Amino acid sequence: FECGNGICEPGENELTCPQDCQGQLSSCADFGINVVELSDFDLETCTRTRFGLIPGNIDKIPSAGVRIIGSDYANAKNSEASFGRDLIQWYTMYGPTGEGELDFSTMDAKMAEYKSGNLKVILTLRANHPNKSEVGFNIGGRTLFEPDSYPKNITEWTDYLQAFADRYYVNPSPEHAGVLAAIQVGNEWGHQFEVNGSYGRWNSNQRDEAILSLQNVSYNAIKEIAPSLPVVAFAVSGTPAFTLGAGYNEDGWIYDGQYYNPVLGRRNGISIIRQEDVGQNTVESFRRAMVNGSPFYDYFDAHIYFQNPEEARYVANFVRDTWRVNGISNKGLISTEFAVPIFNYSYGLHGYNVKAAQAVAFHAGFDAITWGNWNPSPGMNLLQTSLKTCGSNAQNCYQLNQIANYSYFSGLSKDFSRVRRQGDAFSFVTGTGNNNYNLGWDIPPYPGLRQCSDGLDNDEDGSVDLDDSDCIVFHPDCGTGNNIRQNLSNPNCIDPLGFSENNWIFTF
């Protein structure tokens, strides 16, 4: 076919050949798709331009990332990922005790490995140091969960940030050039940041003010020496719940993540929450992070662990509508932790969602996504266990399915410039052409085992499942009954076809 001959031929459309194919696309409203129209969105054709809100003088983060690469850079590259995300604890950049001079030797080697795999990286720099931060802790154990706090010496902190920006972005050595995609200041400060009032800066009621102050000085320090280097805001977790509470969730409920607990009176499965169950103070905290922090980020980071693909659209709508109402522009939207489904899934349904959830998210407003490391057993890494042969271990087969679906979707959508949605059909415009994906392709059956305590009628027999006499769980090596759950410590107590009532949750 030949674009420009006046005929809208097969293979051409209004995106790839607008001069021949005007009027071929339907609006979002024609399909009942609610999105927030900002300057990057054309509602009449239901088409979004990626990076349409980000100023031209800010570097663009690639679209396809994986959350944890570990040391498996080769497999990360083979997966079609373009970047990874690394959380750096402040104290680890010094000697074994967290003292002494800054030591970049380990970081240098890691950045060189990213380079060798043709990968970029987002560095999440945390403000957690046992002696340099206002809230101390003992090194050892799971220090990843120790809170960040305000640096005692703010100049020492800003020098630290600038050292990273200079070494890996402004004046990088050849083996590190082009690797640093962005710096994120803090991880999930909504629950990982504490105030120590004894230093006289902030009291316990001023945590938001302390966070905003640290965002301010950190952003300006990085921009002072690297104006075009993207700065990502600290991430907000729990966004599906906040979105539900704010009224943007069109389903009206989400799973709450509470597993079987006899003390709480739950039997099998998990329960749900509705809009009225979400505290409005948490919703307002989310809004404040988006609005008050907006002068100090280029990308806003929404962590999303949820149940169905459309929830990504609900989260994007909440963020974008907040920007619209408050006159905030020139920002990008990223999720550095993104994975579905959390509950009631099978291997097949999870593999399907790897594709479907990202398609919905990119169209609704996300510019970049780092897919989470989801596994059916604790401690396994998305990539490091994904390319093994199955053997007798069904979990490895699951990983193969997961990575295959990730690679497939990233291959057709990576670094797209525009995406349109027509009902279930998506079209991604990339440098290699126009690639299509449909939510209706290869939908696996929903897991057969039903939730017994979520308050829903999953089998559509007219009564909630908890009232059904046959609503029990059966796992061959676990026994039967209404209070049986899969056993994390017993590999034989796993449903090989999938997980529903008490399935595995993500691992860090």
**Does residue 402 sit in helix, strand or coil?**
helix
Q: Which domain holds residue 302?
A: 58-238+278-415
| pLDDT at position 429 | 96
Within a domain: 452 = no
Within a domain: 4 = no
Distances (CA, A) of 313 to 29, 226, 263, 283, 369: 15, 32, 35, 17, 13
Within a domain: 325 = yes
As given in the structure block, the two tokens for residue 378 are 């604790």
Within a domain: 193 = yes
| pLDDT at position 13 | 65
Sign of the alpha-carbon dihedral angle for 325, 331, 336, 342: positive
| pLDDT at position 312 | 96
Quick check: 213 and 206 in contact, CB under 8 A?
no
**CATH number of domain containing 74:** 3.20.20.80
What is the spatial distance between Cα 2 and Cα 9, in angstroms, rounded to a whole number? 8
Q: How many domains does the chain have?
A: 1
Within a domain: 420 = no
| pLDDT at position 141 | 65
DSSP H or E segment with residue 498: strand 498-499
As given in the structure block, the two tokens for residue 412 are 């057709």
DSSP H or E segment with residue 215: helix 207-225
Within a domain: 166 = yes
What is the spatial distance between Cα 331 and Cα 314, in angstroms, rounded to a whole number? 18
| pLDDT at position 190 | 85
DSSP readout, 347-375?
HHHHHHHHHHHHHHHHHHT-SEEEE----
Sign of the alpha-carbon dihedral angle for 76, 403, 187, 287: positive
DSSP readout, 89-123?
-GGGGSSTTS-SS---HHHHHHHHHHHHTT-EEEE
Within a domain: 362 = yes
Mean pLDDT by 10 residues, the chain (508 residues): 75 68 75 95 95 97 84 74 92 86 95 92 96 90 81 98 99 98 94 93 92 97 99 94 95 66 43 85 94 98 89 97 96 92 61 92 97 47 40 54 85 96 94 91 65 59 64 43 40 38 29
Question: What is the C-alpha radius of gyration for the chain, rounded to an integer number of angstroms?
Answer: 23
Within a domain: 143 = yes
